[in-house]
Structure 1
Amino acid sequence: MKKIIDLLGITLGAVLIAVSIDVFLAPNKLVGGGVSGIAIILYYIFRSPVGITMLLLNMPIFVLGIKILGSSFGFKTLYGTFILSLFVDLLNLFKLPVIKDPIIATVYGGILGGLGLGIVFKYGGSTGGTDILAQVFSHFTGLNLGQSLLIIDGIIVISAGFIFDFVLALYALLVIFIQGYSIDLVQQGLSYTKAALIFSDRPRDIGEKILKELGRGVTVFYGMGLYTGKEREILYCVVSQSEVGRLKEIIHKSDPKAFVVITPAHEVLGEGFKSFKQ
């Protein structure tokens, strides 16, 4: 059953990416990196169908990845690669409305494409392409995956700038950043939780009140102030966004001189928060 759900998730993600390419990116010559970017460039040079071109480009990349890195990509990557290429050309047959404003296309194309990629990744899939090339490049150069992917996508975007327009290339860079943020949004979710580090001369009192009044767990770390040279107890706790005000009130009443650092906790799994199975 899980395998079927994963394939349905990858399919949904591929549909969103295809809509992003057909409605927003390709009509505006927005080459946001990846194999889809190369396919858009080739479409405007040779009028070759974007989907078929993506599939043809992905096949040797897939084989290269297996040869150099081993057969770790699996069926889901092959399925994601094929289904995305299919939907890109299939949706063109339905004559979807095309957005010809580069600013709107950049924002919504980036969001939609990023959400689609995030869903594909969430269900253990991949759309192949430069993800695999980046791993091969990283294997030979020693650079990390993020640096390798940035270099490869950067080359594609700069090439598009020479072929089309450097203003469009700048829009394409925005597409890449927006896609990255949207992928993180799907993978990590919105930050509805906050993590707090509490430095106080009355840590036990504060900790007990958090336990009793908020019902949240508190962890004690032992540290030492570099200036004073004194050992002290540091509290760490995670609360929901709606509980932040109450947390600050508890701390201030117990110790007005307390030092508190509150940061977003993008994903919290376990008792009192989200289940690992979600």
Structure 2
Amino acid sequence: MKNKLIPQWLTDVFYTVAGILFCSFALKSFLVPNSFFDGGVTGISLLIHETYHYNIAYVIVLANLPFIVMGAYQVSRRFALKTLAAVIALGLALLLIPFEPVTSDKLLVSIFGGVFMGIGVGLAMRGGCALDGIEVLALYTGKRISFTISEIILGINIIIFLIAGIKMGLPTALYSILTYYTASRTINFVIEGLEEYTGVTIISGQSEVIKRELVMNLGRGITVYKGERGFLKESFDVSHPVDIIYTVVTRLEVRRLRNIVHDIDPRAFIFTGIIKEAAGGVLKRRARH
């Protein structure tokens, strides 16, 4: 059992340390020297730093503490301890590592500051912790009000950027919104990668041929639901039994799957949905984080 846990533990540490280095680089080389902001707790910390000129290393640790305590109750104590260690390590990196400003070009700062911040936060999440506690707050709040977690995070970030616009001017706030957008997209890419999975449902009268092609040629596992097709407006009482095929592919394979199905049955009904996490079956084995 220990032999199985050690590699996973080392992988988590590697991801977390790499995430800390990327975040500290983004802050010290891009965002802090140019008075730019991000969303979430990092954005709140940058606002406090710009307003009161406290050291960003201390501010970012103190600002995350309430959310880490909240995470112990909303997620788990292990998650909270790992996050606490990661946030303290981020503060130490900001204090001790002498990253230098890279550029003062506002567009480059907003884009690449967001990219490096997103890589850092995403890697830390793959390591099983968080360098920004805003989602813990959204999870806590979402259980008490009717808004979704995404809506709560959006509302908090709107307040942050409004304050930034008042304090630092509208152009800085707009560039900071670009930074946040770039960071959020990068986080999704780091966590999900190129092999984001897509669930595909196929309804066709040629289901037997399609099933064989998907399994034998595409190499995918399938699940079959028993259903009925028909029920058209001009012949509502007429229906036929049909096998409804469901399979999971990477988004790089969706086009190939569509071509296979349409070559067999041009009238086949196909619809897809994004799957955030998938494991087991005949999918490629991926590390669990």
Paired residues for 1:251-266 under 5 Å: 251-261=261-271
Report the TM-score when normalising by structure 2.
0.80
Q: Note if 1:221 corresponds to 2:225.
A: yes
Among 74, 77, 95, the alignment partner of 2:80 is 74
After TM superposition, give the deviation of residue 163 of structure 1 in Å: 0.3
Structure 1 residues 38-88: Cα deviation after superposition (integer angstroms, max 9, x where no partner): 33233333332111222233345545x379769735310111111112212
CA root-mean-square deviation: 3.1
Among 102, 112, 115, the alignment partner of 1:111 is 115
Structure 1 residues 143-192: Cα deviation after superposition (integer angstroms, max 9, x where no partner): 44333322222222211110001121122222222222111112211146
User: Do the aligned partners of residues 134 and 268 (structure 1) sit closer, same or farther apart at CA in structure 2, a change above 3 Å counting?
Assistant: closer
Structure 2 CA distance for aligned equivalents of residues 168 and 205 of structure 1: 58
1:55 maps to which residue? 61
Mean Cα displacement is larger for which, 10-19 or 32-41? 32-41
Unaligned runs of 5+ in 2: 1-5
Question: AA paired with 1:80?
Answer: A
Contact 2:72 2:80 in 1 (8 A): no
Question: AA paired with 1:204?
Answer: E
Structure 1 CA distance for aligned equivalents of residues 60 and 211 of structure 2: 56
1:37 maps to which residue? 43
Among 95, 114, 131, the alignment partner of 1:89 is 95
Structure 2 CA distance for aligned equivalents of residues 152 and 241 of structure 1: 32
* 1:28 aligned counterpart, secondary structure: coil
After TM superposition, give the deviation of residue 260 of structure 1 in Å: 3.1
Among 14, 32, 38, the alignment partner of 2:20 is 14
Mean Cα displacement is larger for which, 243-252 or 232-241? 243-252
Mean Cα displacement is larger for which, 108-117 or 206-215? 206-215
Question: AA paired with 1:181?
Answer: R
Report the TM-score when normalising by structure 1.
0.82
Contact 2:207 2:243 in 1 (8 A): yes
2:3 maps to which residue? none
Q: Note if 1:180 corresponds to 2:190.
A: no
Q: Note if 1:234 corresponds to 2:238.
A: no
Contact 1:32 1:176 in 2 (8 A): yes
**Identical-residue share of aligned pairs (%):** 28
2:174 maps to which residue? 170
Contact 2:121 2:132 in 1 (8 A): no
Unaligned runs of 5+ in 1: none
1:23 maps to which residue? 29
Contact 1:189 1:267 in 2 (8 A): no
Aligned pair count reads: 275
Question: AA paired with 1:173?
Answer: I
1:155 maps to which residue? 159
Contact 1:62 1:128 in 2 (8 A): no
After TM superposition, give the deviation of residue 113 of structure 1 in Å: 0.7
